[in-house]
Structure 1
Amino acid sequence: MRSWLKVFLIGLALWVATIAVTMWTLNSNLIPTVVLLGSFLVPVTFVVWAYERGRSEHVTVELLFRAFIVGGVLGVLGASLLETWLLQPSIWMYMGVGFIEEGVKLLALLFVARHLRHRTLRDGLVLGATVGFGFAAFESAGYAFNAMFTESGHLSLQQLVETEVLRGLLAPLGHGLWTAIVGGVLFSGAGLLPILLAYLGVSVLHALWDSMRGIAIALTMVFTGRQWQFDQLRIGQVPAVTDGQVHMYTFLDWLGLTIISVIALLWLRGLSKRPQSQ
């Protein structure tokens, strides 16, 4: 059995066991364990998978560990500070989030790889993915922690688990994928322009991913909106929606996420096929 599959199955078993014991005993001391296991399971699994597929004499397990922990923590700290200082609620907010988060992950990658003398495209893919998955793991832990609290102030293990499952399913198509692309271009020996274009491209994909709910709502209204709904919107009221509009919104939301993911995966595949001498 491959190492990444062992990591996933063992981690999954521990996470499920922890959830079961927490539900059975109502011991809130176990909640941090549920949060950490659920948030780190998929990111760590994919880091092991990437390392096995892109094994290199230059990228050691120690370096991978630093990239995941140090790169991930520096990324979330930098993103939190910059987003607090620079962003205000607006239609362009998610574009700012994309540029900030992809920028801090790129800087974190440069920091953890600063002593790496020999760099190849494959090294950049693996280390970039590792920094990205580290970022995703710590970010997911925060989302899971917040999801645990209900509006009435009580703790909800169900909401926590649902959030971790959803973010775990989407994790391979997010931060790790985008930072792997930039890392591969950066370490491939390409000039400044290809690196800037890669950064611009993944930042736009990131922004579209984060704003897809709003885009899906807008498209649903364009395609199926009724006059009375537009009238309510004009006076600042939130109109009721039909069952058909709910289904349309869900379809457009997932269609958009799928298109973004396919673009990123094809981009990554194209990079991975390049000769290592580039």
Structure 2
Amino acid sequence: MGTTQSPKHRKHLLDDTTKEINEWTGEAKAVEIHPLRMFSEVFDRHSQDDADEVFSAGTKVTTPPLAAVSDAPVKPWLFSRVLVILMVTFGLLLLLFYAFKNERVLPGLLVMGSLVVPLALVVYFFEVNVFKNVSIWRVVEVFLIGGVASMVATMLLYSLIPTSNGTDLWSAVLIGLIEETGKLLIIAIFINHLQLNYVFNGMLIGAAIGAGFAAFETSGYGMDYGLIVLMIRSWQAIGTHTIWSAMVGAAVVFAKDDYRPLTTQTVLRPKFMRFYFMAVALHALWDWRAPLAWLDIFYIHQLILIVLGWVVIFVLIEAGLREVRTLRQAGIPSEEHIFLPLP
């Protein structure tokens, strides 16, 4: 009896969770999560022209008017090709290192191992941005400058707030607060500077900054602790800084008032606070060494948090599609759709 009911109970739990999170975005209903549908095009054939078309988005010519923006379920695929290319490159570098004892490839291993998952995730969020109003050039700029700047902001906060390197809950909470706040400051600066107003835009900018943070941080850990730690942190990056910062980026957009710049007052809004503290909580729980030994078996602790983090992301994607429908129904003129020229 219990076995036959378990899928139903899991469905109710998922529905309750997505409904609660979706209420934070302004809609009181559960979100249907269909990962197989979302990733269905990953296994389809795509030409080089298809890839070029995806990467051409965000220019003055290729940014569509708001009336042409699709609110259909997103089906990104190019990120998987980027992931394969990065993995193959990393694999060849490992071959050079282990089979041919070539130690000169170690810097390349550190760089590529750190980039594999974060960079693929950036492409994923680039594809998910259905407004297509941010160019890949801009994303690379945010990834590099924003990633390093967020580390600088974090280090400044660490110098002001005493913390320890422990894995107890309080230390983990402090680390989560400091690092997510450091990234938040840079995310807010970029979103304000680029005058971005849409949920998908906020997620993309947040993800790019979080991915940069993750890549540079992981390369440092790899240098200190070796290739095994590098590879562990690499696959775990699917559920860490990149998606946490995507949540914070969405929260920044939620906090803006009628597309006006973010202020210290607007960050007190519940929509912002809930998603910001969700990112902090996920970060803290990730760093916390829970007093339950079974959570360390096969990385159960991390896998649970990865799934929960992606549930939040899927809800935010649904909120972004709902925003598209709302804007189109409101009849906002297409010329008000934002195009981001290069500086």
Alignment TM-score > 0.5, same fold: yes
- Tell me, yes or no, if the aligned pair for 1:58 and 1:119 is still in contact at 8 Å: no
- Tell me, yes or no, if the aligned pair for 2:202 and 2:253 is still in contact at 8 Å: yes
Q: Measure how far apart 1:145 and its partner are.
A: 0.7
Q: Measure how far apart 1:118 and its partner are.
A: 4.1
What is the identity, as a one-letter code, of the residue corresponding to 2:127? E
The counterpart of 2:155, out of the listed 43, 55, 80, is 80
Q: Measure how far apart 1:198 and its partner are.
A: 1.9
Structure 2 gap segments, 5+ residues each:
1-45, 47-76, 258-265, 328-343
- Tell me, yes or no, if the aligned pair for 2:163 and 2:175 is still in contact at 8 Å: no
Structure 1 distance, partners of 2:221, 2:93, is 19
Deviations 1:139-167 (A, max 9, x none): 1101111113xxxxxxxxxxx1x222211
Q: Measure how far apart 1:175 and its partner are.
A: 0.7
Deviations 1:12-32 (A, max 9, x none): 222111121123443332210
Q: Measure how far apart 1:263 and its partner are.
A: 2.7
Equivalent residue number for residue 117 of structure 1: 195
| TM-score normalized by the length of structure 2 | 0.63
Residue 334 (structure 2) pairs with residue 256 (structure 1): no
More helix by percentage? 1
Over 3 Å counting, the alpha-carbon distance change for 1:145 and 1:28 in structure 2 is same
Q: Measure how far apart 1:93 and its partner are.
A: 1.4
What is the identity percentage for the equivalent residue pairs of Structure 1 and Structure 2?
A: 25
Over 3 Å counting, the alpha-carbon distance change for 1:260 and 1:17 in structure 2 is closer
Q: Measure how far apart 1:255 and its partner are.
A: 3.6
Match of 2:194, SS state, is: coil
Residue 96 (structure 2) pairs with residue 21 (structure 1): yes
Q: Measure how far apart 1:204 and its partner are.
A: 1.5
- Tell me, yes or no, if the aligned pair for 1:46 and 1:172 is still in contact at 8 Å: yes
Deviations 1:93-130 (A, max 9, x none): 11111001101111111223333224201111111111
- Tell me, yes or no, if the aligned pair for 2:176 and 2:281 is still in contact at 8 Å: yes
- Tell me, yes or no, if the aligned pair for 1:75 and 1:105 is still in contact at 8 Å: yes
Deviations 1:25-71 (A, max 9, x none): 43332210110011111111111122112243431112211211111
Q: Measure how far apart 1:249 and its partner are.
A: 5.1
Alignment of 1:186-225 (within 5 A): 186-188=252-254, 189=256, 191-192=266-267, 193=269, 194-211=271-288, 214-215=289-290, 218-220=291-293
The counterpart of 2:87, out of the listed 12, 34, 49, is 12
The counterpart of 1:273, out of the listed 315, 318, 341, is 318
Residue 180 (structure 2) pairs with residue 102 (structure 1): yes
Over 3 Å counting, the alpha-carbon distance change for 1:206 and 1:118 in structure 2 is closer
Question: Cα RMSD between the aligned structures?
Answer: 2.2
| TM-score normalized by the length of structure 1 | 0.76
Equivalent residue number for residue 175 of structure 1: 241
